[in-house]
Amino acid sequence: MNIVQTPIADLFVIEPKILKDNRGYFYESFSARAFAGAGIQADFIQDNQSFSQKGTLRGLHAQKPPFTQGKLVRVIQGKVLDVAVDVRKNSPTYGQHFSIVLSGNNHKQLWVPPGFLHGFLTIEDNTIFTYKVTRYYDKDSECGVIWNDPDLNINWNEEITKEELLLSDKDLVLASFKDFVSPF
């Protein structure tokens, strides 16, 4: 397993070692030993999974303290553009984002620690997205920023038009980044 530091501190891309043969493939999707070796402290308590069609955009979300979540995200089937935004008040990269394509073919994962907004856009139909979390979901602790905030200037995907996007009612009314008061 190769754990690669992104340009934003504490945000890591996980590249598992894929063992292939005539039967298919095998890989470790998580190793506490490898995470600890990279300085990542994560005690996962729950696995979540979503199924989405092309154009589904989920995010940008986080949970406020004391229910902050770290997430280890990956795609089992299909493809997403995954985005994490640093909203740690004292971080030199506050307001900066990192994006990566995660797919069932590339097997890459992203470790999103507490203090980040997270979201993803499905690029293929029948995408299965899964993630481990370090805290349980708490509805009253939700916070977020609107996906198309001009200050964040996230390039979601030029191939999918605004008219094709599928968003929840909740995600359509999230705060702008300039109005977002970071609890981190």
Q: Which residues are catalytic?
A: 61, 131
Q: Give the type of residue at 62.
A: A
Phi, psi of 115 (to 5 degrees): 100, 10
In the chain, which ranges are E strands? 2-5, 12-15, 19-21, 24-26, 46-52, 57-63, 71-77, 79-86, 97-103, 109-112, 116-122, 127-133, 142-144
